Structure 1
Amino acid sequence: MTGYNNHNIPEAAHTFIDRNISAGILTVAFGPRGSWVCVAANGACDSHGIPRGCKDALRDFLRRGFRIRSIAFPPQGGDRWVVVADQDYSAQGIPDECIQVMDTFRRNKWPMRHIAFPPSGGNSWVIVGTDRVFARSIDDECYQILNNHMQGQRPASGVSFTPDGGWTIFGSDEPFARRIHDDCYRHLRAIAAQGDMIDHVSFVPDGDGYSIIANQASPFTSPNLIRVFENNFFRDSSGKGHSVWARMAAHGVPGVSVAMVLGGAFAWQTSYGVLEAGGQQYVYNDTPFQVASISKPTTAVGVLRSAQGAGANIGLDDPVQQHTTWTIPVQAGGSASWVNEATVALTLAHEGGFNVPGFGGYPDTGTQLPTLDQILAGTPPVNSPKIEIMTRPGPRLYSGGGYVALQRMMQDVTATNFVDWMQSNVLTPLGMSGSTFAVTLPPQLSRAATGHVAGPVAINGKRNRYPESAAAGLYSNVGDLCRIILMLNSGGSLDGVPILTRAMRDRMLLDELGISRSGALAALDCMYAHDGVNAGFYALMRGYPNLGSGFAITTNADHSAGGSAFVAEVVAALEYLYPRDLLPSGHSVIGLDSDQVSAAALDLGVGGR
C-alpha cells in the first residue's frame, strides 16, 4: 500500500507527490525560504529554489541510473546541500567532519540511507546507514533512541528534525518522536498501525509543514520484540501494561542498558534513561557502568588463562600461597595448615576460606586510595578488614577478599600490574574495547554512568573507586559483557580466537569458578550467572550454554535504590519474550506484581555468587 500525508508544504511539491505516489517517492526535502525537491522512483523529479549545484548533481545521478536515497539542506541556507544515491554522493558547503564520515561510508561500501541536519546548524548532522549511525551534536535522547531503533532485524531508515528542535525516527518499525506537531505524530502512528512502512518524513524549516511518505506495506507481520520489550515491558496483576521508562521511574533507576545473545550470536542492545538523575546526557549502548562483582568471572577467565597450556604459570590445584610473596595470614584460632589447603580453584569458587565478602569503595572526592598491600593488611587508609583465612577451605563462603588475594597472586606471577595484565590478556583478546579495570577511567571511557542511591540521588563524587580490582573494579558495557557470554557458550573461543581451552571452560562452569551455575553442564536448562552490587550500581549477566543465549543488564541504581528490583523485572520481561531461549522449562513470571516478580526472578538466579 502506498500513501502520503502533507501539511502546509508548497502546493507544487504536494502536486508532484500526489501525481507520482503510485510510482513511489524516493525522497522529499525542504530547504530555507520555500525551497524544495522531490524525486520519484520512475526518475521524475521537480524542485524549486534549490542551489544550482544540487540540481546539477541530482540530474547527473539520475542520468547515470543511480537511485536517490536522501537529499538534505543545512539550516544556514546558501549553497549548502548533499545528495545521497545508492552508488555515490555529492555535497557542497556541509561540515568537513560530515564529509569525512561520508567518505568513510563510500570507502568501506557501507550503504547510506539518510542524512539530516538539526536546526542548530554548525557541525551538527546525522548519517543513517543500513546497520550503523554516525552523528555529531544532535539531541542526546534522539541519538540514544536512534541507536536503539538500529538494533535487530528492523533498523530505522532515517531521522528528521523540526525547525524548533523536535525530531522523529522512522522506518519499518513504529515511529518514535519528541516535540513534533500533534497531527504529524497521529498521522505517523496511523500509517504504521495500518501496516505501512514509513519511508520519509520531511519538515519545512521555516514553518509547521511536513510530508510523510509510505511507499509500501511493511514486510513484517509480527511485532518487533524489542519494541514490545520497551512499550509493554511490565504487565501488572490487573493486566495493565507499563513501559520500560515507567518502570524505571517507579524504581528510581535513572539509566539502564540491556543486551541479548540469541542463537549463538549477538542479537541486540538498547539503552534508556540518563547518566545522572536530572541531567540531559543519555545512556548510550557503549556507556561504561561499574559492573561490580561481575569483575570476578572476568578475573576468573584471566586466572584460567594463566593455568592452561604448556606455558602455564600456575596450577588451579596449587595453593595460592605457592605463587605469591605475600604471606597469607590465618585468623586467631585457625590452623596454619589451612594456608596450603586454600588452592587457586577453591579461592575462585569462594571455597578458599577467605574473609571479607565485599568492599565499599572510596568516594572520588580526593580521598586517598590504599595500596594493594594496605588492603591486604587492613591498614590505613583502608576501610575494610585485614584479608585472611577465617575458616578451613572447603565450605562455600562468598569472599571478595579471596579475589584480592588472587589479584596479588597474579601480579606476583606475571610481574605486571593486575589492571594492565587483564587489559592485555583478557579484555583485549575478548574484544572488550569499552571495558577496563582501571581505578581512574581513561579519557576514551570517561563518559560513564553516575551511581545512585535511593531517591535517586547521585553518590558523592559520582562513582566510588575500587582498587580491589579483581573483586569489584571492572567498568564495562552490556555489549562487552555479552562477549564473555558468547565465549563461554561457544566452549571457550570467540570469533575463532581461543580464549580458554574447552577443558578450562568446562571446569569454570562445572566447579563454578567465579560464576554460579544451575543444571547439569550438558542439560538444556544449564544456566550460569553473576550479578554485581557496587555503591550506586547493579548489574547482571546470565548465559545458557546449550541454548546459545544469554543477556547482560547494567543499571546506575544500587541494590537498595531499586536497581535489583528493576533488573528482576527486566529478567521477567526477557524470559516472557524469549521463552525458548531463556526458559526451556516453560516457566514464566509475567503477570505478577512487582514484589512477586522480584522474588520469582531472584529464585531464577538473579543473585550471583
Structure 2
Amino acid sequence: MRKLILLSIGTLTAMAAWTVLIFVGLSHGWWRTDPGARGGVAEFFAVSAEAIGAAEQGAVAFVLLEKGEIAGEHYFSAGVPVTRDTLFQLASLSKWVTALGVLKLAADGKLDLDAPVSRYLTRWQLPESEFGTEGVTARRLLSHMAGLTDGLGYLGFEPGTPVQTIEASLTEAADAMPSADGRTLVGIEPGKTWSYSGGGYALLELLIEEISGEPFGVYMKRAVFDPLGMSHSTFDLAEAEKMGLAPCFDEAGAPCAYHEFAAPAAASLQASAADLVRFIEAQRRGAGRDFLPPDIAAAMMTPHASQYGIPIWGLGIMLYAGAPGGGFIIGHDGMNFPAIETTARLDPATGDGIIVLATGNPGLAATLGGEWVYWHTGRVDVRTLDHMIPQAGMAVIAGWILLLALAVIMAFRMRRSETPKSS
C-alpha cells in the first residue's frame, strides 16, 4: 500500500511538472517557428519590410522605434501612395488613445476611477442586474473587468446607412459582430473575471461627454491630440478623408469602403503613423513629456487583469510580455471589417517599439508585432499565446494520459509482485 501511495504522489507530481514545462516552454517560444535571423534593429527592420513588400497588396505603414527615435519606417500601397502623415483607421487600437482621454479626466480631478460610472451619467444607464451596477467603475471598464458581457466587436455601418446614437448602441448594437451579444449590461460580477467589452468603451465615450460637456471628438482633440501635437488624428471619418486617409482594401486586396461607427472611441480613431509615434513617446518613462501624473501613468501599466495566471491587461492597454528591464511591453491591437489590422507596442523603459497599420493584409500587423515582442524580450506575446493555448492543452492532456498509463502499469506490476504465489 505504501508503494502505491508513493506512486500516486509521484504521478501527480510528474503531471504537475509536465503542465508547468509545457506552459513555460510555450511562453519562452520553445516550440515557436523560427521566423529567420533578426540580428540587430537594422536587420529586424529589413526582414520585416521585405515581408510587407512580399504581400504585394493592401496599404501598410510600418515604423520601428529604438530609444524613442525612429530606427526605420516603411510604407507600401497597392493604390494611392501612403506616407508617415497618411491616416489609417486604427480599429480597437483606438481604445488605447481613448483611455488617455479618460485618465486625463482623472488627472484633472473630474473623475474618480473607482466611483460607479452611473453617478456621472444622465443620458443612459446600465440595465439593472442581479450583480447590481455599483461595481462598474471607470477603472474596471478600462481593464475589461467591469462584468459586461456584450462581447463587442463592432462591424460598423456601411456608407449611406444611418448610424445609431451612442445610447441606442449601448442598449443593443445594430452592428454587433455575429459572435457578440451586443447588449451592454452586467452579466457577471464586476471585478471577478476579465471579459473583453467594446460596449465598455462606448460607455466610457458617453462618460467623457457627460463629464466634459463636449462632444467626444472635440474633447479628445482639446485634451489629447493638441497637447501631444497629433495634428493628423480624428475620430470623424469624413474629416479623416479630407486629411488624407489610406485606401481601404479587403482581405483579397480589392478596394473597399470604410465603415462608420456609433462608438468611435472603441473602434475608429483615424491617425497617422507620425502621430502614433508622438502618442507613444508621451508614454515612455523618462521621456520628459509626461502626459499623465506618475501615479496614474504607473497604474495604467500595472496588471489589472490576468488569464491562466498571466497578466494581460492594464488600464486601456494590453500587457504583451514581461519587458527585459522590468515592467511590461504595453500597447494595443486592432481589427475592423473587412481587413483592417493594426498594432502599436512599446517598452516604456527603453523607448523601443513597433507600429504597424495595415489594410488588406490579414494577420500582418499581429504577426510583425508578435515577432518584435519575441525579438525584443525572448518571450511569446500574450496574443500569440492565446491562440496556442488549445494546442498546449492537448499536449498537457496527452502527457497526463501517458503518465497515468505508466502509473497503472507500474501499479499492476506492484500488485502482482506482492501477491503470494500458491504452492
Using structure 1 for the length normalisation, give the TM-score: 0.50
Q: Which residue of 1 aligns with 2:123?
A: 326
Q: CA deviation at 1:424?
A: 0.9
Report the residue type matching 1:517 in the other structure: L
> Residues 563 and 303 (structure 1 numbering): CA distance in 2 closer, same or farther, change over 3 Å?
same
> Residues 534 and 524 (structure 1 numbering): CA distance in 2 closer, same or farther, change over 3 Å?
same
Q: CA deviation at 1:244?
A: 3.3
> Residues 606 and 570 (structure 1 numbering): CA distance in 2 closer, same or farther, change over 3 Å?
farther
- Match status 1:315 vs 2:107: no
- The equivalences for 1:425-464 within 5 A come to 425-442=223-240, 444-445=242-243, 447-459=244-256, 462-464=257-259
**Correspondent of 1:547 among 350, 354, 360:** 350
Q: CA deviation at 1:573?
A: 6.1
1:522, 1:505 → 2: CA distance? 19
Q: Which residue of 2 aligns with 1:64?
A: none
**Correspondent of 1:405 among 187, 194, 203:** 203
Q: CA deviation at 1:255?
A: 1.3
- Match status 1:360 vs 2:159: no
How many residues were matched structurally? 332
> Residues 540 and 604 (structure 1 numbering): CA distance in 2 closer, same or farther, change over 3 Å?
farther
| CA deviations over 1:104-139 (Å, ceiling 9, x no partner) | xxxxxxxxxxxxxxxxxxxxxxxxxxxxxxxxxxxx
Report the residue type matching 2:349 in the other structure: N
Report the residue type matching 1:229 in the other structure: F
> Residues 243 and 537 (structure 1 numbering): CA distance in 2 closer, same or farther, change over 3 Å?
closer
Q: Which residue of 1 aligns with 2:59?
A: 255
- The equivalences for 1:34-433 within 5 A come to 229-230=45-46, 232-233=47-48, 243-246=51-54, 248-249=55-56, 253-274=57-78, 279=79, 281-309=80-108, 312-330=109-127, 334-335=129-130, 338-354=132-148, 355-364=150-159, 366-378=160-172, 382-384=174-176, 385-394=182-191, 395-433=193-231
> Residues 405 and 499 (structure 1 numbering): CA distance in 2 closer, same or farther, change over 3 Å?
same
Root-mean-square deviation (CA, aligned residues, Å) is: 2.9
Q: CA deviation at 1:481?
A: 1.6
| CA deviations over 1:438-492 (Å, ceiling 9, x no partner) | 14225641x2123332212233xx201113111012011222222222222226x
2:63, 2:226 → 1: CA distance? 20
> Residues 515 and 488 (structure 1 numbering): CA distance in 2 closer, same or farther, change over 3 Å?
same
Is the 1:229–1:244 Cα contact (8 Å) retained in structure 2?
no
| CA deviations over 1:202-248 (Å, ceiling 9, x no partner) | xxxxxxxxxxxxxxxxxxxxx99658734x448xxxxxxx65311x2
> Residues 341 and 600 (structure 1 numbering): CA distance in 2 closer, same or farther, change over 3 Å?
closer
Is the 2:65–2:352 Cα contact (8 Å) retained in structure 1?
yes
The structure whose residues are more often strand, as a share, is: 1
> Residues 288 and 605 (structure 1 numbering): CA distance in 2 closer, same or farther, change over 3 Å?
farther
Is the 2:318–2:330 Cα contact (8 Å) retained in structure 1?
yes
Q: Secondary structure in 1 aligned to 2:234?
A: coil
Report the residue type matching 1:504 in the other structure: I
1:572, 1:392 → 2: CA distance? 32
Q: Which has the higher contact order (CA 8 A, sep 6+)?
A: 2
List gaps (5 residues or longer) in structure 1.
Answer: 1-222, 235-241, 588-598
Report the residue type matching 2:155 in the other structure: G
Report the residue type matching 2:272 in the other structure: N
Is the 2:319–2:382 Cα contact (8 Å) retained in structure 1?
no
Q: Secondary structure in 1 aligned to 2:76?
A: strand
List gaps (5 residues or longer) in structure 2.
Answer: 1-38, 177-181, 305-313, 389-423
Q: CA deviation at 1:361?
A: 0.5
2:124, 2:367 → 1: CA distance? 45
Report the residue type matching 1:369 in the other structure: V
Q: Which residue of 2 aligns with 1:487?
A: 282
2:327, 2:205 → 1: CA distance? 33
- Match status 1:603 vs 2:384: yes
2:384, 2:284 → 1: CA distance? 22
Using structure 2 for the length normalisation, give the TM-score: 0.71
The structure whose residues are more often helix, as a share, is: 2
Is the 1:290–1:473 Cα contact (8 Å) retained in structure 2?
yes
Q: Which residue of 1 aligns with 2:391?
A: none
- The equivalences for 1:499-538 within 5 A come to 499-510=291-302, 511=304, 512-518=314-320, 523-524=325-326, 526-535=328-337, 536-538=339-341
1:273, 1:443 → 2: CA distance? 16
> Residues 424 and 600 (structure 1 numbering): CA distance in 2 closer, same or farther, change over 3 Å?
closer
Is the 1:531–1:606 Cα contact (8 Å) retained in structure 2?
no
Q: CA deviation at 1:284?
A: 1.4
Give the structure with higher Rg (CA): 1
> Residues 421 and 255 (structure 1 numbering): CA distance in 2 closer, same or farther, change over 3 Å?
same
Q: Which residue of 2 aligns with 1:185?
A: none
Q: Which residue of 1 aligns with 2:268?
A: 473
Is the 1:376–1:405 Cα contact (8 Å) retained in structure 2?
yes
> Residues 330 and 344 (structure 1 numbering): CA distance in 2 closer, same or farther, change over 3 Å?
same
Report the residue type matching 1:452 in the other structure: F
Report the residue type matching 2:164 in the other structure: P
Report the residue type matching 1:603 in the other structure: T
Report the residue type matching 2:342 in the other structure: A
1:271, 1:574 → 2: CA distance? 18
